[in-house]
Structure 1
């Protein structure tokens, strides 16, 4: 029986680069579908579901950002990782893509090993999520509902990332009671709602650091922490090290 290869949808308008990436991915035993703009890719996605999408940001006809936003309107693509390739190194551009919800981005120029490792890591994470369903027939509805719940919750938290939104307000926007909100988070995340909000904010700060931000006071403010010391304490409790040390360590690894 032939083993189905992992399918990668590559969207790249530069023919030379697209050909190179496509060939190198194929050498690494991936099936590659290469489209030269976002519109061509979107038409392909209307009838196909790849395992992962690797897409250039700046393209004619339809940009990578436009394609991503269109794709995320369809729930069937919720578990398809989306990696943006970009030559735009500005902080604002990176933050905008992270706020949109892209899973990751890779800066041009890059080495193919970096892209392959990111692809492998995302696919492993995706497989691990699927394996959590021991009985896919009986639990598929529960799984979809859980994803919808946390997608909506995360969208509310992201929209209010700079504010200290109350649990009562979140419950109202989720159309559930405060107790139901807390119970569902405890059931699926093994923590209370306050801890979930705090970790969401810290993860947002980490994404900002990875995008190039190094001012701890700015990170605290952008993530809705009124106290710099409290932000630093929460960050250390979550990562094991203070934010300044995390930033320094990340710089060394880059």
Structure 2
């Protein structure tokens, strides 16, 4: 039996990069077809079957994003994983690419290990999606459900899809998913067909004998007549004592597991107006939940991966002492804001802030108190910032604040307010306040002295030096 070699199509006008990329991928066991640019992309897609497309965004003769949009709107290639590559600013390119349906974005210059990891991950997702679809292609209803489930990336969305599609397929009015583990007395309803807005309702499992039995035994519970089944003997007495009608006619309770651990119950009920549930319905529900578990596990893995990736990114760009952006992140943010200000002809102001006599504060009160003051000043600056502003620790006792779309007058008012806030704030440890003042240098773009981010910082630093030399506790621009 022959083994399928994954085939990748590379569309990039940079021939040197394309050759390097192709060599790396071939060395790692992939079959690669490289084309110069994207003019003939669809001819190649139609002529062969590819497992992945690597597509450059910025090419001289054709727009990579427009090609991506055409690929994703063509039913033949809708499920083809597409990884966009570009030297555009990562934030802007990622948002635009993912918004058009790309699987991922890789910035140039790329790191080889990261590139290969992303290629492997999306190959795996694409392959699993293909296998799942092939397995259920003969069952139209199942295919429709799975297609909708696997198109969703969030667990709560998958839960909602399952209860809606299964209830509709079985023509029942009540279908829900309850998260709980064996021997717990409470559970959480995360989705209910009869109430789509309900997403996190706590319930007392002691009132649901079918749920308890399914959770504790792992057996599928099929009750075809709630009015006579002995499982409901105790709760029927309770319902009668409360003058309540039977809440359902028949029921199915089916435990499901995630990562081989019991996670909850798939709960189906029919009312007197619905057809009663049968063994055939059990079989259908089992097939659905078994197939959906794989999608749910991927969704939870992705959720964890995204959370982990966000944490790593936060650690990489955050100053650990002050929880503001660090200098490396500031450099990236400044470059992005300079590009945006130049592109849209808007203003950008940079504030360079330095704590006055900070060495004397450290010598007098100790470095631990100095660290406390740095954290307190950072927190004060973050409280005063607007959502588009950037607060970063530049180094030592220096901070930088970027103020996009802010005029000279507005930045002066902001600097004046910060000076007053700092001068009136009780810095240091409780009971032993330390009087702190700051000096500020302001610089704005556009300015004939500013050509890039470094020159903007240098100009702000020059104005900070003036503020220091003229007496401190003031700003200069």
- Per the normalisation by structure 2, the TM-score is 0.34
Aligned residues: 185
Matched, 1:101 2:101: yes
Q: Is the 8 A contact 1:54 1:82 kept in 2?
A: yes
- Alpha carbons of structure 1 residues 17 and 246: separation in structure 2 relative to 1, 3 Å: closer
2:313 corresponds to which residue? Answer: 250
Tell me by how many angstroms 1:24 deviates: 1.2
Stretch deviating more after TM superposition (40-49 or 110-119): 40-49
Unaligned stretches of 5+ residues in structure 2: 154-159, 170-175, 178-189, 200-301, 318-477
The alignment partner of 2:110 has SS state of coil
Separation in structure 1 between the aligned mates of residue 140 and residue 105 of structure 2, nearest angstrom: 30
Higher helix residue share: 1
1:183 corresponds to which residue? Answer: 164
Matched, 1:85 2:85: yes
Higher strand residue share: 2
1:160 corresponds to which residue? Answer: none
2:53 corresponds to which residue? Answer: 53
Q: Is the 8 A contact 1:13 1:36 kept in 2?
A: yes
2:29 corresponds to which residue? Answer: 29
The alignment partner of 1:95 has SS state of helix
Stretch deviating more after TM superposition (58-67 or 186-195): 186-195
- Per the normalisation by structure 1, the TM-score is 0.60
Tell me by how many angstroms 1:140 deviates: 6.4
Structure whose CA Rg is larger: 2
1:96-148 Cα distance to aligned partner (Å, 9 max, x none): 22211211000111122211111111111223333435844513674257536
1:14 corresponds to which residue? Answer: 14
Q: Is the 8 A contact 1:42 1:67 kept in 2?
A: no
Unaligned stretches of 5+ residues in structure 1: 155-178, 197-237
1:203 corresponds to which residue? Answer: none
Q: Is the 8 A contact 1:8 1:33 kept in 2?
A: yes
Tell me by how many angstroms 1:239 deviates: 5.8
